[in-house]
Structures are given as C-alpha cells and as structure tokens.
Amino acid sequence: MKSLAELQAIKNKMADRVSVRTSSGNTRIVVGMATCGIAAGARPVLNAFVEGISEAGLSNDVIVTQTGCIGICQYEPVVEVFEKDREKTTYVKMTAEKAKEVIEKHIKGGTPVTEYTIGATQL
C-alpha cells in the first residue's frame, strides 16, 4: 500500500532535478482543458503528454501545462507547442496516440508533425 512516507523518497530523488530547472529556453506544451476540450477528449491527450515527456526524460526542458478555451472549439482537443525562436505550432483534433507521435517526431526530433496541425486541416 502506498504511504505518504514514500513521498519523502520522491522528494529526495527530485530535489536536485528541480533546482537545476530553468524557465528560459523551455518548450511549453499547452493543452486546452475547457468544456469543449474535455468533451472532445483532452484529458487522455494531456496525460499522454505528461507521461510521455516524463518517460522520455525531458521534464527538465519541456513543461506541459493546461489552458482554458482557445476559441476554436470545433478543432478540440487543441494542443499548442511554444518553442524558443520558433513559431508556435497548433495541433488540432489530438488523441493520445497522436500525442506520442508528436513527442517522438516534434519534441524529440525537432520536426513538427504537419499533418496534425491546424494548417493541414480543411477549414
């Protein structure tokens, strides 16, 4: 059974990691989590990014955050990727599977997955 005491071990393990984290130069992955996003399936998308970034060992460089309604409800779940010195990438109609692909190809590989972006979607 999990106990609060186990958190102490997590704390010790993470103390160094958190202290070296900087906010400059980070990549931010922002998931829309308003009613429209949640209804369209944003919860598993968010969790796929949180777990995928952690498993890839990128937690020091990449921050996964939530936001409210972005204003394009028909394209939810919407995910925006902000990177230093690059234009924002907006992914639409995301799924957990697509999130894994975005981590692999875009976040790790540096190349946005254009077919999932808003630019590739029929308006």
Partner 1 sequence: MDELSLYVLDITMNSVRAGATEIAITLREDGEWLWFTVEDNGCGMTEEQLKKLTDPFFTTRKTRKVGLGIPFLTMLAEMTGGFVTVTSTHESVSPNHGTKTEAKFGKNHIDFIPLGDIVETVKTLIQGAPAVNFTFRHIFPNGTVELSCAAIRETLGDEIPLSEPDVLMWIGQYLREQYDELGHPVAQF
Give the residues lining the site for partner 1 (CB under 8 A).
1-2, 4-8, 10-11, 13-15, 18-19, 33-36, 38-39, 43-44, 46-47, 50-51, 53-54, 59, 64-66, 68-71, 73
Burial 91-108 (b: 16+ CB within 10 A, else e): bbbbebebbbebbeebbe
Helix, strand, coil share (%) of the chain residues, nearest 5: 45, 15, 35
Min dist. Cβ of residue 12 to partner 1 (A): 10
CB-wise, 19 or 24, nearer to partner 1? 19
Q: Is residue 94 within 8 Å of residue 45, measured between CB atoms?
A: yes
Amino acid letter for position 71: G
Q: Which is nearer to partner 1, 44 or 105 (CB)?
A: 44
1 vs 123 by CB, closer to partner 1? 1
